[in-house]
Amino acid sequence: MKIVIPAEIHRGEKRLATSPEVVGKLVAAGFKVVVESGAGKGASIGDDVFREMGAKIARDAESAWAAGDLILKVRPPQYNKELGRHEIDLMQKGAHLISFIWPAQNEELLQKLAKRKVTVQAMDSIPRISRAQKLDALSSMANIAGYRAVIEASHQFNRFLSGQITAAGKVDPARVLVIGAGVAGLAAIGTAKSLGAIVRAFDTRPEVKGQILSMDAEFLELEFEEDGTGQGGYAKVMSKEFIAAEMELFAQQAREVDIIITTALIPGKPAPKLITRKMVESMRDGSVIIDLASEQGGNCEATVPDKVVNKHGVYIVGYTDLPSRLAAQSSQLYATNIYNLIMEMCPQRDGKITVDMEDEVIRGATVVNCGEITWPPPPIAVGAERKPSFGGQAIKTAQDEVDAPQAPVAGETSEISRFCKSVWFPLILGGLALFGLGQVAPPSFMTHFTVFILSCFIGYMVIWSVSPTLHTPLMSVTNAISSIIILGALTQISSGNSLIYILAGIAVFITCINIVGGFSVTQRMLQMFRG
């Protein structure tokens, strides 16, 4: 199969859908790769670099598009003024396209692609599930946009972001407010903190509070019980009462901060207006607003897409091409996302791809399949909520008992069976066994045995109580806390028996290493999220 990477013709777009490293990997996987001449100019990648990696160079756009079985792009296909033709018309019938498409906003484009009988995967429609993280181009680009937003804000602010004390006087650190703590927001928080600013952040989703605090930023909370988590982890539309309280908070913050970075978006809807003209008027002269939602209408009422405007002494930046302003880095990350998607469809590494519509990731990304519009995809069940449990057995709620089908078992047999399956039966059985053991075992044995049981119970319950989704970052903590067994060693270290004394000392030494190492690893993990 021949893969073609044409040059991007969208105004101001400098990114490219591949990189030299990815071209080399595609060639090694059995694909033939063709790159349009000059396609990598905006990302400072010359044609010769692609040739060295095994790609062929097409002389112009028309010959490049015509040669491709699989087309890789950044921006959706659009009308090419130089050729006087739409890019879709340059594709072979039955070809394959991977690109950003934005199907919810581009229904007419979907119809044109369907008429061409092509297959299209939209990089913006990759399901937001763990298995698809390596394909998530939205997160890759949002990460870059958040970083670049702080750089643009620093440029417009014309002052230090960090505080300084010099012989010439004291400079206060800049105060930065980040609205929306998704990928872009967290990247902005980390960058602003690393530059020395005082950072505050707000999000309607309560679960991001820990992430914000771990990056040493202040989390702004509303005394309002409403969860803003929507499908796929995005924010959702909030109630009128919540929005009123939220706007009051933003109005207060606008009078205090120097820089506001907004990232709030709701899938399939215009960007919510969070910063009003009145708030802009209340900000100090020289303040800056970076609106990352400008392409979808903007979070600020005064935002003008692709421009920097000055309203009442406040600079409002509405750039829609922030990832493109770091073209080399963006192209590298985007190319890796696309490569991972191609490898999902080419498990044999034989230069041929197969669109498996039974695969939830491929199905979610596919918006047109052989001329048939397949968007929107069916919802993906991320996983059932885990119920409280004890000893591995789920504890049923009253509603569970109502909903559960009742077996037609009569009389006392049903009651006995139900009791044996309850959590009380093993507890009573275990208690009787311990009572019987205590009647015949010496007192010294029961002391040791009690410490052993308590250690096992506490260590087991500490690990079991941690949500499975947190096991990876918290495993070092659970590992350290589970060293509660050190208590057993400490109770024996004063023993008069030299053998017990030595063994207890070894146990204390080993568990100390476990505890110190566990918390040390945890600290390193937390540092990864700090600026």
Q: In whole angstroms, what is the distance from residue 284 CA to residue 157 CA?
A: 11
DSSP string spanning 111-143?
Answer: HHHHHTT-EEEEGGG---SGGGGGG-HHHHHHH
DSSP tag of 229: B
Catalytic residue numbers read: 128, 133, 136, 139, 234
Q: List the Cα angle 488/489/492 in 5-degree steps.
A: 95
pTM of the model: 0.71
pLDDT score, position 241: 84
Q: In whole angstroms, what is the distance from residue 400 CA to residue 15 CA?
A: 54
Which residue shows structure tokens 């960090």?
Answer: 162
Which segments of 116-239 does DSSP mark as H helices, in order? 137-157, 183-194, 209-214
Q: Helix, strand, or coil here: 205?
A: coil
DSSP tag of 41: G
Burial 214-247 (b: 16+ CB within 10 A, else e): bbebebbeeeeeeebeeeeeebeebeeebeeebe
Q: Are 332 and 25 in contact (CB under 8 A)?
A: no
Query: 36: which 2 tokens?
Result: 């349009």
DSSP tag of 384: P
| Residue in 319, 311, 309, 304 with CA at minimum distance from that of residue 279 | 311
Q: Residue 364 CB: number of other CB atoms within 10 A?
A: 24
DSSP tag of 531: -
Q: Are 23 and 35 in contact (CB under 8 A)?
A: yes
Query: 33: which 2 tokens?
Result: 């790769």
User: Going residue by residue through the chain (531 aa), what tens digit of pLDDT does each one get?
Assistant: 999 999 999 999 999 999 999 999 999 999 999 999 999 999 999 999 999 999 999 999 999 999 899 999 999 999 999 999 999 999 998 999 999 999 988 999 999 999 999 999 999 999 988 889 999 999 999 999 999 999 999 999 989 999 988 888 899 999 999 999 999 999 999 999 999 999 999 998 888 899 999 999 999 988 766 654 555 445 556 678 888 999 999 999 999 999 999 999 877 688 999 999 999 999 999 999 999 999 889 999 999 999 999 999 999 999 999 999 999 999 999 999 999 999 999 999 999 999 999 999 999 999 999 999 999 999 876 543 434 433 333 333 333 333 444 444 444 445 555 555 555 667 788 778 877 877 788 877 777 777 777 777 766 666 666 555 445 555 555 565 556 667 777 777 777 788 888 888 888 888 888 777 777 776 776 665 554
Q: In whole angstroms, what is the distance from residue 77 CA to residue 199 CA?
A: 39
pLDDT score, position 313: 96
Q: Residue 509 CB: number of other CB atoms within 10 A?
A: 12
Query: 493: which 2 tokens?
Result: 């270290």
pLDDT score, position 416: 56
Q: In whole angstroms, what is the distance from residue 75 CA to residue 17 CA?
A: 9
pLDDT score, position 488: 73
Q: Are 205 and 161 in contact (CB under 8 A)?
A: no
C-alpha distances in Å from residue 378, one per residue of 82, 127, 354, 406: 39, 11, 20, 33
Beta bridge partners of 309: 316
Q: In whole angstroms, what is the distance from residue 313 CA to residue 296 CA?
A: 25
Q: Residue 395 CB: number of other CB atoms within 10 A?
A: 11
Query: 204: which 2 tokens?
Result: 């309607």
Q: In whole angstroms, what is the distance from residue 442 CA to residue 456 CA?
A: 21
Q: Helix, strand, or coil here: 309?
A: strand
List the beta strands (DSSP E) in 312-460: 314-317, 366-369, 372-373, 389-390, 393-394
Q: In whole angstroms, what is the distance from residue 511 CA to residue 490 CA?
A: 11
Q: In whole angstroms, what is the distance from residue 240 CA to residue 62 CA?
A: 52
DSSP string spanning 271-290?
Answer: PP--B-HHHHHHSPTT-EEE
Residue 362 CA to chain centroid, in angstroms? 19
Query: 173: which 2 tokens?
Result: 């650190």
Q: Are 267 and 273 in contact (CB under 8 A)?
A: no
pLDDT score, position 223: 75
Q: In whole angstroms, what is the distance from residue 405 CA to residue 384 CA?
A: 20
pLDDT score, position 391: 36
